[in-house]
Amino acid sequence: MAGVSSDGMTRYAALLRGINLPRYKRVSMAELRTLVEGLGHVDVKTVVQSGNVVFSTGRRGVHALAKELEHAIDSKLGLDVRVLVRSQSDLRKVIEANPMPEAAADPARFHVVFLSASPKAPGLDPAAVAPDEFRFGAGVVYAWYRSGIQESKLAGLLTDKRLGVVATSRNWNTVNKLASA
């Protein structure tokens, strides 16, 4: 199986949605590492302060791992947080499949929006969000916020409510760090 080491362990990245925003759902990275280690996962590392934890485990199934983490965060930290999990192999595929290679030169404004499932009916009009650009990929939306995310019409459309699925965004720098952590 791709991404499985000789000891039967797979490396995963858990993407926590909506934590460590100013005064909202604060979680220390040390506390998050301890929580994940307490679930039996090993080689646990956090990547940037925005809720990314990378770990190895012999367990399989990104959905089961996500539910396990959501439950642990709720029961131990008292926070209702959605979690998406991707294997590092899957993250590398997201990087390799980038349909906008020119956007990678602007890594702070180029984001990958990770999705829990295929969006219901996004109905996004490229002309309506210009100069921003987007492309759908396998389980993701590639989004280039050319004037920054704060000024973007597109950013407000790539939300859970609009897409009908859990969505969480990471900039290109973070995606690359997660794929190699």
Per-residue model confidence as pLDDT tens digits over 89-129: 999 999 999 999 999 999 999 999 999 999 876 678 999 99
In this structure, the strands spanning 110-115 and 140-144 are: antiparallel
Matching CATH topology for 10-89 and 97-180?
yes
- pLDDT tier at 1, thresholds 50, 70, 90: very low
CATH architecture of 97-180: 2-Layer Sandwich (3.30)
Q: Which helix (H) or strand (E) holds 157?
A: none
Number of H helices, E strands in the chain: 6, 8
- How many whole angstroms from its chain centre is CA 78? 21
Alpha carbon distance 11, 134 (integer Å): 28
Let me know: does 167 contact 84? Beta carbons within 8 Å.
no
Give residue limits of the domains in the chain. Answer: 10-89, 97-180
% of the chain beyond a pLDDT of 70: 92
For 41, 130, 133, the CA distances from 127, given in Å and listed in that order, are: 45, 5, 9
What residues pair up with 12 in beta bridges, in sequence order? 55, 87
The CATH number of the domain covering residues in 10-89:
3.30.70.1280
| pTM for this entry | 0.91
